[in-house]
Amino acid sequence: MDESDFLKDLKNCELCEHKCGVNRLEGELGVCRMTMPVVASATLHPAPPESYTVFMAGCNYRCLNCQNWIISQYPDNGIRQRGYEDPKELAKECIYQLDSWSAKNMAADRIFFSGGEATIHLPYIEKVVEEARKINPDTKVNFDTNGYLTEKSLNRVLDFTTSITYDLKAYHDEVHRALTGASSDPVLRNAEYIGRYAKEKLWEYRILVIPRINEDEIKPLAEFIADIDPSLSVCFLAFRPNFILENHSGADRVLMDKCVTIAKDSGLESAYWSGYADIPGCSIDAASELKENYTKESAHLAGSYAFYKGCHTHPRNCAQCNSNQDCGIKRYIPRIST
């Protein structure tokens, strides 16, 4: 890839399924509201797969539950990030860190791109990987994604990755929209493609379990994955109160054990849970104003959290929302962090 044009895709950005078509290099803003790629932070990280993790700022979702809201809701929250960095210099940093004693001590063996959402910065990441492999051709790369990428972008990701960690929020479109502001259809399509045709790349599917909001999604998601391939790995993550859901109850151990049981009863051979469980909280009353906008109680509840923080479009649909460039969700600063 030539140094002068590696960001050419940002001139008519259609990297994710929002397909905004904006010229980010000229400052035009799509749903993610990002122009040039911005590095939020980078650090050695012990979570599997152990890595030197590069967190990219910005996201094409507006998830109510985001634990990385400081990164994902950039630039609207006003919290400073590292900024744009020369891909060659970032590649040198990654290789240097992976060669360090600390990396070897924790068995960190790859660069891990996360966020936010890495997809919105795909050309930049490709360039960093290209430069890293000039230094060490055997450099491993993990790509962490919410799955809302085009088929073309997915194929590009599969071309350079060693492993992929893949988040699934909900099976039913209405619940997925209420949580994220985007459709589940492309996410399920891409999840199925990886599971069927690039199984060797999948580290695991990850499903955050949020009481009362997506706990009824666990069974259809488990059955969906088992139908693709029963040997595919699934990690259930215990929700802890964060961002818009800062006061919502965390997942307890009973619920997390139940998720693993559901997964195994659905035919999955590799399912486990991780995270901090049993964090107390409470739940709001669903907004009566939205009663006709949602059919599922869980989606109604999630949509209500968004409604009370200024979301105007229901069912949630960030791409079609007239306020997507002046979003109360993206500007929100929680009082509680867990």
Amino acid identity at 290: L
CA 119 to chain centre: 9
Report pLDDT digits (tens) over 3-35: 458 999 999 999 999 999 999 999 999 999 999
Q: Residue 50 carries which DSSP code?
A: P
Token pair recorded at residue 21: 């078509």
Report pLDDT digits (tens) over 174-197: 999 999 999 999 999 999 999 999
Q: What is the pLDDT of residue 283?
A: 87
Do residues 195 and 183 make contact, with C-beta atoms less than 8 angstroms apart?
no
pLDDT at 330 over 90: yes
Q: Residue 249 carries which DSSP code?
A: P
The mean of the pLDDT values for the chain is 96
**Residue linked to tokens 């929209």:** 177
Q: Residue 311 carries which DSSP code?
A: -
**Residue linked to tokens 């791109």:** 113
Report pLDDT digits (tens) over 275-312: 999 999 998 999 999 999 999 999 999 999 999 999 99
pLDDT average, residue stretch 153-172: 98
User: What torsion do the CA atoms of 326, 13, 72, 142 make, to the nearest 10 degrees?
Assistant: 170
> What's the CA gap between 83 and 201, in Å, rounded?
30
Report pLDDT digits (tens) over 30-45: 999 999 999 999 999 9
> What's the CA gap between 299 and 181, in Å, rounded?
11
Report pLDDT digits (tens) over 59-102: 999 999 999 999 999 999 999 999 999 999 999 999 999 999 99
